Structure formats: structure tokens, C-alpha cells
Structure 1
């Protein structure tokens, strides 16, 4: 039945005569169809399509048929199959946003030689300021990517240094380490454990660690463990 399509387009402001001419159906037949009492199935379909539109709109147009179906079934208690939701969304021209899988922000410099792993997964130091673990994370904002470098004292489980920037150059992690030194004043020989990322193997980082009396230690690429 093509008349429900004419009805939906009319609700969106498209003249009935234009739609009927394009779809090659009778205008008289459409108005005769609208004068009939609506069947229970037609009412159910109309309510379901409206519910789908509302869920999709509430997600700011990001939900695809799987998440719309989940919201209807789990969130609103609607009994409907996944296939029917998919068909109705296609019929209404609704689709979700497909996001690309994000890559991690850790990149290894193949020319750099990483430091020896001094920790070997033993993250239980005997006292504070003896073992620091460092990492960098990336966060999407409305103005672009923001990178956060953090230094954690393994004994107290407290963040002792951090730095944020719109780039992921070596000064990002150097600034976080410098804050940790200013805050804690650790004794020479404190271990700074990180992954093999290029920000930690960079000359600026290794030089600053040497100047501060910090011993660098490195685990796997992408993970300081």
C-alpha cells in the first residue's frame, strides 16, 4: 500500500497532488483511503513509527536500528522485533551515525631504544615516591582532541602530576613529571614507569629524567604494565 507514504509526506508539507503524480497513484483514491476507518494494525504501525522517530530524535540522530530497538524494548517495554524496527527506520529515512574505531594515542619511535623494565609488573613499592607510573590519554572535545598526561604514585594511588595540551609532544609528559617533582620532592632514584610511546623515549624526556635523578622504566607499547 503506497497511500501511507503519501500521508507521511503530506504531514511533512509535500502537496498530496504532487506526491500522487510522482508515485503514479490516484489522488481520488488517496482521499477515499483516508476516509476509511483505520485498522488496528495501521494504528499500531503509526504509533510505533512515532515512537521510533522520538527515540531517534532524542539521540540527536545518532542511534541506529539496534540501539533504537533496545531503547524501545528495554526502556519503554514495547514488544517489537528488531527486523521490524530496521524496516520502519529505513522506510522513514532514519539511520544512525557510524563512528570509526579510534586508534590509541601511543606511537612507538622505532629508532629509539626503550628503557629496561625495572618494575616487571610489581606495582607494590615499600613506600611513597619510590615508583611513579605515567600514561597519556586522549579525549574528544567540541574544539578537537585534548591530551592528558598523568603521573601516579603507586604507593598512595594518588595523581601527583599531570599536564594537558592540544598536542602529544614530549613536553606534555615532561610537564607532568615536573609537576610531580615540585609536589613531592622525591629522593634520587625514584622509578618513572611508562610504555614505549615516543613521548617517553624522546630525548627531551630521557634527558630531563636524568637531570632530576629519575630512573626510567618501560613496559609494553600502549600499556605501562
Structure 2
């Protein structure tokens, strides 16, 4: 049926437009499902109307058949009473209702086919709506994930993220500078202290060496015999 084909084209177009569209995917999918449900509602109303038309035609056919039978009995009654002219008129009237009953019966067959086709289309659309709802949930989840990923990448590559990262880098550099200065001051203090101890140790070494030299000189003086100056020599 043309209606169900048009609905299918609308469904396909709506779902395919989600990927390329810059609009909110959730709104697009919700709108697509809503349109499908509206189409289903109209289709159900069409089925109900077709069934009602079929039932009305069936009642009309039954009524025409019943009326035709009634006129046939009247024709029999007129003929039994010897009134052939009246019997002929009754049969003529009966024939018009027989023809009407045949027309209604033919319409009933066509209407049954229409109702069956509409019911089939309705069941097909119901299945497609169920499938669309499942796809909608899946596409919405994927769209949310893609949007979150996009925002994250945008944040990481954007100016604000770069500025924030640069701020951390500057802070790290500043901390490293402070640590280097602290280490340098500590090292300088340690060097000054070391120099003082080195000076003390050097002084002690000099004193020790001087004392040793004095001791050695004294010892050598005691062990060396004194030389007598020759008498009569004056200087």
C-alpha cells in the first residue's frame, strides 16, 4: 500500500539524517518515532473505518437479501390468489433487491481484502516502530558517547585546556626553581661549614708540623757537640 511505503521512506530518511544533521540527535529520533506512532494511529483508524464499512455493507447485503425473500413470498401469495399482475410486480421488486444484495456482496469481498491488507500493513508498522525504538535507544547512546568524546577532545585541544595545562607547567617550573634555589642555599651553607672545618684542620696540621719541627730541632741540638773556639783568636 502507498501509505506504508511512504511511512517507510519517512523512517529511512529520518534515521539517515541523524548522522549528517547538526541538530540534536535525540530530538530527531524522538520526532521520527512520534511521527511513526502518529502514522500508526491513523492506520489503525483507517482499519477501524474499513471494518466498520465492511460490517455496514454486510448488514445492507443481509437486509437486501431478506427484503428480496419477502417480496418473493408476496409474489407467491399473489399468484396463489390468482393475481398474476401483482405477482409480476412483486417479482420485479424482488429482483431489484436481489441485484442490490449481489452488489453489496461484491463490495464485501473487496472490503475484506482492503481490511486484510490494512491489518497486514498495521502489523508491519508496529514491528517497524518496535525496531525503531530499539534503534533509537542505541543511536541515542552512541550519540551521547560521541558528543562526550567530542567535548573532551575539544576541551583538550581548545584554548582553555591549553591555558590550564600551561598553568600547570608554569607552576611545575616555578616549584622546580624554588627547589633548585633551596638546594643551592643548602649546598652553599654546607660548603661554608666544610670550609671552616677544613681551615681548622689545616691550622691544626700547621701547628702539628711546627711543633714537630721544634721537637726535631731541639733533639738535634742536644745530640750535636758544641765546637770550642780556638784560644787567642779574637773576632
TM-score by length of 2: 0.23
Between Structure 1 and Structure 2, whose CA radius of gyration is higher?
A: 2
Higher strand share: 1
- Name the one with the larger helix percent: 2
The structure with higher relative contact order (CA 8 Å, sep 6+) is: 2
